[in-house]
Amino acid sequence: MVLDTKKGEFKLAFFERKVSTPRDVGDYRLFALSFNTKYIHPIDHIDLHRQIDEMIYSSLTSSTSNVSKLQNSLNNTIAELKMESTYTLEKDVRIKSLEYLVIK
């Protein structure tokens, strides 16, 4: 959102998906709206700013939540790999001790 006071324009731009599951920048297109500020009441300016702030805050909290979930998942995976490694090492030790007993 941009308020250009010299030109008297209020511009709102966002990215729109071209495909259902975007994978890179080319899968988006820029969508922009432009309004003349003399036709927008100051109360509407304030309300629009408030709504956009809420959308940005919502996006940030959603992203932060996703990062937290991914970090927890990564930590759990690391712990599982360590346990699996320990289990494999124990199995190797048991096999070697059994081999030692069988060889005797």
Give the domain ranges of the chain.
1-40, 41-104
pTM for the model: 0.49
Strand order in the sheet with 2-4: 2-4, 9-17, 28-36
Identify which has the larger pLDDT, 6 or 60.
60
**CB-based contacts of 14, cutoff 8 Å, min separation 6:** 30, 31
Q: How far is CA 4 from CA 9, 44, 63, 70, in A?
A: 5, 16, 30, 40
The region of weakest confidence among 28-37, 72-81, 87-96 is 28-37
Cross-strand partners of 17: 28
Q: Which tens digits make up the pLDDT trace of 12-64? A: 788 888 988 888 888 998 888 888 878 878 888 788 778 878 888 998 999 99
How far is Cα of residue 62 from the mean position of the Cα atoms in its chain? 7
